[in-house]
């Protein structure tokens, strides 16, 4: 029996085909069954974390190429790879600016000769796609202007842990609905049967074409996506309230303009009270208390932001095992 079927027994998920050798640039690069299989594997790996040295990725090297700063993504991949028996090579700054010293294609071809998988954090998304197209080893998006799919896996793992299942829940994403975190979260959510409400002003709304894309992804799983101008209406009755900083890395010149538009969308205790009493508050971090979220909310009893941060590591360990192995030999 294929091991994913064994996870089915343990974690009540649908079986999925192998992900070995695939790239992961967007959440929707994976099917619903594939995302749920990765989440199941993440749960299994998390259950074995207590100081145990695993060997699933022994002899494997993960390359990490970062154009932008990172705390969570870098450290969670590095520690996760070490826990799985592999090793990491990290490059940033002048050593790695996609397209400045050489083409993304040449960098990808060279690095594919050295390492077994590559995490890339870029400013623009298009060079990442060119890099992945030329790479002969799995390429993982560690954040680009368009997407943050590893964050979305950790977010869904956290929601699943809290509610026991994903299908039928509703998330309200409040703030900049066009940012990378919002888009990846929404794709992964609707694929898992979670309806998404965006609460954003016209200046930061989800594009109609993206909403249509989410409707197509979510329809087979009973999930929809809706855009609201009124933050109260977006949050009313939902299970999860999510926000992110109002200005993404590299866009600091827009900070004042973004704040002027987004102040009514800050997550306060008053706004959170419109969600279900059992609702949770999520943020991918880093956070700016007093801007997109009040200190009372992010440090309050409904906040799960540090579970989310921890789950980056568990979800990414599962992703690495799925992309780099055929899952045979994993004890379940």
Catalytically active residues are: 121, 148, 151, 244, 284, 312
Q: Which is nearer to ligand CP, 11 or 312 (CB)?
A: 312
- At its nearest, how many Å lie between ligand CP and the CB of residue 71? 4
Alpha carbons 256 and 331: distance in angstroms, whole number: 52
- Using CB under 6 A, which of 79, 145, 167, 285 touches ligand CP? 285
Yes or no: say if 86 and 62 are a contact pair by the CB < 8 Å rule: yes
In degrees rounded to 5, what are phi and psi of residue 320?
A: -65, -45
**Axis-axis angle for helices 32-47, 149-163 (nearest 10):** 70
- At its nearest, how many Å lie between ligand CP and the CB of residue 78? 11
- At its nearest, how many Å lie between ligand CP and the CB of residue 73? 3
> In this chain, which stretch among 66-74, 97-105, 111-119, 227-235 interacts with ligand CP, using CB under 6 A?
66-74
Give the angle subtended at the CA of 61 by the CAs of 2 and 97, to the nearest 5°.
Answer: 120
Q: Which is nearer to ligand CP, 119 or 177 (CB)?
A: 119
The neighbouring-strand residues paired with 183 are: none
Joined together, the tokens standing for residue 217 give: 């992804």
Any contact of residue 70 with ligand CP (CB under 6 A)?
yes
Any contact of residue 71 with ligand CP (CB under 6 A)?
yes
The one-character DSSP state at 207 is P
Burial category of 145 from C-beta neighbours within 10 Å (exposed 0-12, middle 13-18, buried 19 and up): middle
Q: Which is nearer to ligand CP, 143 or 225 (CB)?
A: 143
User: Max Cα separation, the chain?
Assistant: 57
Taking CB under 6 A as the criterion, which residues in 72-91 touch ligand CP? 72-73
- Using CB under 6 A, which of 84, 98, 284, 305 touches ligand CP? 284
Taking CB under 6 A as the criterion, which residues in 123-162 touch ligand CP? 143, 151
The one-character DSSP state at 24 is B
- At its nearest, how many Å lie between ligand CP and the CB of residue 257? 22
User: What residue ranges bind ligand CP (CB under 6 A)?
Assistant: 70-73, 143, 151, 284-285
């Amino acid at each position: 029996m294929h091991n994913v079927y064994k996870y089915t027994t343990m974690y009540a998920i649908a079986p999925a085909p192998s992900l070995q050798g695939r790239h992961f640039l967007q959440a929707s690069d994976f099917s619903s069954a594939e995302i749920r299989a990765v989440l199941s594997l993440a749960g299994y790996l998390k259950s074995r974390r207590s100081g145990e040295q695993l060997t699933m990725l022994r002899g494997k090297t993960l390359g990490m190429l970062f154009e932008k700063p990172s705390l969570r993504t870098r450290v969670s991949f590095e520690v996760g790879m070490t826990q799985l028996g592999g090793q990491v090579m990290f490059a940033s700054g002048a050593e790695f600016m996609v397209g400045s010293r050489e083409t993304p294609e040449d960098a990808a071809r060279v690095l594919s000769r050295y390492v077994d998988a590559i995490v890339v954090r870029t400013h623009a998304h298009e060079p990442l796609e060119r890099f992945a197209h030329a790479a002969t080893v799995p390429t993982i998006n560690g954040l680009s202007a368009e997407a943050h799919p590893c964050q979305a896996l950790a977010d869904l793992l956290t929601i699943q842990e809290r509610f026991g299942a994903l299908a039928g829940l509703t998330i309200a994403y409040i703030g900049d609905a066009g940012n990378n975190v919002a888009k990846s979260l929404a794709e992964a959510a609707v694929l898992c049967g979670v309806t998404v409400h965006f609460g954003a002003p016209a200046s930061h709304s989800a594009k109609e074409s993206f909403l249509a894309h989410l409707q197509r992804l979510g329809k087979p799983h009973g999930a929809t996506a809706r855009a609201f101008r009124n933050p109260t209406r977006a949050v009313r009755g939902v299970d999860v309230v999510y926000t992110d900083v109002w200005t993404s890395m590299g866009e600091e010149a827009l900070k004042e303009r973004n704040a002027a538009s987004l102040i009514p969308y800050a997550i306060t205790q008053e706004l959170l009270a419109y969600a279900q009493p059992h609702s949770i508050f999520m943020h991918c971090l880093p956070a700016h208390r007093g801007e997109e979220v009040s200190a009372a909310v992010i440090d309050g009893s409904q906040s799960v932001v540090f579970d989310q941060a921890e789950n980056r590591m568990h979800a990414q360990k599962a992703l690495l095992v799925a992309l780099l192995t055929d899952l045979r030999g994993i004890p379940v």
